[in-house]
Amino acid sequence: MKKEVEIFVYGAEQICASCVGMPSSKETYEWLDAAISRKYPEQPFTIKYIDIFNPPEEEKHRLFATHVIEEDLFYPVVTIGEEIIGEGNPKLKDIYKEMEKYGYEEVSPK
């Protein structure tokens, strides 16, 4: 593995108006954490949830949270590095593809 990936899931308690019927941002975050951990066991990564209406003090997160709100992006918005990998209903396939660019490898069940 080249570099440990940091995944950020930007969302809110309230489901976005265009995403009614989909899981909440927090549920998506938890689902992604579990799915990625199963796909890449023993390959460390970090996944963090960022509330767009109450972001942490770190400037990059505050700026991106503001961007999500001002640009009316469908949340949750999933980022790896500086790239938006998915929004609204992120696809695991896209997230896995991005992680494999960083050297992550699927571990086949024994």
**Which pLDDT value is given to residue 18?**
67
Q: How do residues 6-40 score in pLDDT, each as one tens digit?
A: 999 999 987 766 666 788 899 999 999 999 999 99
Domains of the chain (ranges; CATH) run: 5-101 (3.40.30.30)
Confidence grade of residue 82 (pLDDT, cut at 50, 70, 90): confident
Q: Is the pLDDT score of 94 beyond 60?
A: yes
How high is the pLDDT of residue 110? 60
Question: Would you list the DSSP string of the chain?
Answer: --S-EEEEEEE-SSPPGGGTTSPPHHHHHHHHHHHHHHHSTT--EEEEEEETTS--S-HHHHHHHHHHHHTT--SSEEEETTEEEEESS--HHHHHHHHHHTT--PPPP-
Q: Whole-model pTM?
A: 0.90
